[in-house]
Chains A and B, each alone.
Chain A
Amino acid sequence: VSGLGNRDLWVIGVGLHPYQKPSDTPYPQLGVTAVREALADAGLDWSQVQTAYTGTATTSMALSRLMYRHLGATGIPMLQVENASASGSTAFRQACIDVAAGIHDVAIAVGVDKPLNLTSPQRAAGLDDLVGNRVLPVTHFALLASRYMHATGASAEQIAAVAVKNSRNAALNPYAQRPKARSLEEVLAPPKISGMFTRLQCCPIGEGAAAAIVVSESALDSLGLNRDRAVRVRSSVLRSETYYGTANFDAALTAETTAMALEQAGVTASEVDVVELHDAFTVEELLYVEAMGLCEPGQAASALAAGEFDIGGRVAVNTSGGLLSMGHPIGPTGVGQIAELTTQLRAEAGPRQHPDARVGLAHMVGLGAVCAVHVLSRD
């Protein structure tokens, strides 16, 4: 009932290139660094990888082969998967579908990006509204934040506290773009960007790479892989926006996608131990934990203040630092979430380990809007 058929699927290796400000590092260097780390983690050689899906949205068309050739040109199928901020999540899903369908037994999902070509579907479609090009995406979420405060009574300080927690987690993550723990005073410091949002309540768009290797049950045995470090893919769901009236579409889409992913995984929201979710702007984390059913509607701010979403709390949210502090290089982000959950579920996260993490959930929304949710677990 995983939505992926009856074959058991395992994440056997993960790797990252640190997320960072845009630099002169070529994207093949970013990507190959993550792939080599994932191969070493899995105990696999590149020649054993049978297919590759590359999540990418901002770098260039056709970027896969100029990257993978540096690992040895083996002739395997490779292609790019673009789904806005959910590109990496969708590439991981395609790798899962490929192995689940029995086409291959070893697939790699890689996210890689540099912010070289930022495009807009609204512009391409010739769409215009009364505000037009005068606002950035941050204003969409600033409007949403005003609505959330009106509906729940949450204060700007309570919402900003999301960035305090996630920066604290990122300070323990060697791959984070913003590796510094921040106080509430620092998070609230000017300049204001839009609405209630200050700079540190908006995620940085940078560069980086992430990789995750998915294998079949039979490959675990035939390739002699370490079953103790294998993490099970319990479900994979990808949905797109329908019409929700005046309700917030990102939250409504998150609610329905998460409900499907939990049902297909055979777990309830209360059984989830670790969550990586799309916190591009602080208010999103509060909206989405409510939409996912991790707390009661309107109660996220007080639950956060009570430490329920901390490492060691009731359910740890964004142990990596999230998009806000680990960073959001677009293509890598969704794969990086799988890397963080895998590390947590293996109990290998060191100082940022959430105790006894058994079930993890990864969530991304992407412009469009689309939403991808994966549930992973250790057996």
Chain B
Amino acid sequence: LLNAYQANEETIVRTAAHPRLYDPLMHDPVLNGVECAQCGHVYFPPVGIGCEICGAPADQLQPKALTAAGVVHAVAEVHLSPAKTATPFTVAEIVLDDGPLIRAMVHPDVTDGLKIGDRVSARWSVIGHEDEGADVVEPAFVRDPEVRR
């Protein structure tokens, strides 16, 4: 199953490493969150079944697109992984501007490390290739450029 879209007159083909969590065809990553219509709590990863805060049933848990941007809350370089992923790599906890505290990968292009308090946003990171030629992508976070005041 390939997904494709036209950009700059060339066909970009991507698939998602985690299909439930984001649409790989978006130009920049957007996260598939959920908002509780009863209490307003926002979730990422998305939850079904019922709301952890107020117990509202599944029909109250509505899809909400979350901007993949926020502030670094915690960070760790991983040296031992149970998966085949090459080490070291870095993971971070990020408080999204939309509310949830999420756990995500730091983009491999970030060579000088992220610090707690850094403003970050997600870019696509290619973590593999399918036999049909599609890039397997996931959102990974980079430090935002400094804004001159």
Chain A interface residues (CB < 8 Å from chain B): 127-136, 138-139, 142-147, 150, 191-195, 243, 245-246
Contact = CB atoms under 8 A, between A and B. Distances in A.
B52 A130 contact: no
A130 B139 contact: yes
B20 interface: yes
Contacts of A133: 82-83
Contact of A131 (B80, B101, B105): B105
Interface stretch (B5-13, B56-64, B68-76, B128-136): B68-76
B144 interface: no
A130 B93 CA distance: 11
B116 interface: yes
25 contacts: A127-B45, A128-B21, A128-B45, A129-B102, A130-B21, A130-B102, A130-B105, A131-B103, A131-B105, A132-B83, A135-B81, A135-B91, A136-B81, A142-B76, A143-B76, A146-B116, A147-B74, A147-B93, A193-B79, A193-B80, A194-B76, A194-B77, A194-B79, A243-B53, A246-B101
Contacts of B76: 139, 142-143, 145-146, 194-195
Contacts of A127: 45
Interface centre among A130, A133, A143, A195 (most CB of B within 10 A): A130
B40 to A, nearest CB: 13
Contact of A143 (B53, B80, B93, B105): B93
B78 A132 contact: no
A136 B139 CA distance: 20
A142 B76 CA distance: 6
A216 to B, nearest CB: 39
B75 A143 contact: yes
Nearest to A132: B18
B14 to A, nearest CB: 16
A192 B74 contact: no
B116 A150 contact: yes
A338 B20 CA distance: 45
A192 B45 contact: no
B120 interface: no
B91 A143 contact: yes
Nearest to B22: A130
Contacts of B83: 132-134
A167 to B, nearest CB: 21
Contacts of A134: 78, 81-83, 85, 89, 91, 105
B23 interface: no
Nearest to B88: A192
Given A131-B103, A194-B80, A246-B95, A144 B74 contact: yes
A119 to B, nearest CB: 14
A129 B77 contact: no
Interface size range on B against A: 20 to 34
Given A134-B78, A146-B74, 6 more contacts: A128-B21, A134-B89, A135-B81, A136-B80, A194-B79, A195-B78
A368 B101 CA distance: 17
A306 to B, nearest CB: 27
A270 B127 CA distance: 52
A146 B21 CA distance: 26
B138 interface: yes
B74 A143 contact: yes
A136 B45 contact: no
Contact of B103 (A129, A147, A246): A129
B125 to A, nearest CB: 10
Interface in B101-133: 101-105, 116-117
Contact of B52 (A142, A144, A243, A245): A243
B79 A147 contact: no
A135 B73 CA distance: 18
Nearest to B45: A129
A193 B77 CA distance: 9
Interface centre among B45, B89, B103 (most CB of A within 10 A): B103
A33 to B, nearest CB: 32
B52 A131 contact: no
A191 B88 CA distance: 12
Contacts of B79: 191-194
B54 to A, nearest CB: 10
Contacts of A150: 74, 116-117
Contacts of B139: 130
Contacts of A129: 18, 21, 45, 102-103
Nearest to A130: B104
Contact of A135 (B74, B78, B95, B102): B78
A136 B52 CA distance: 25
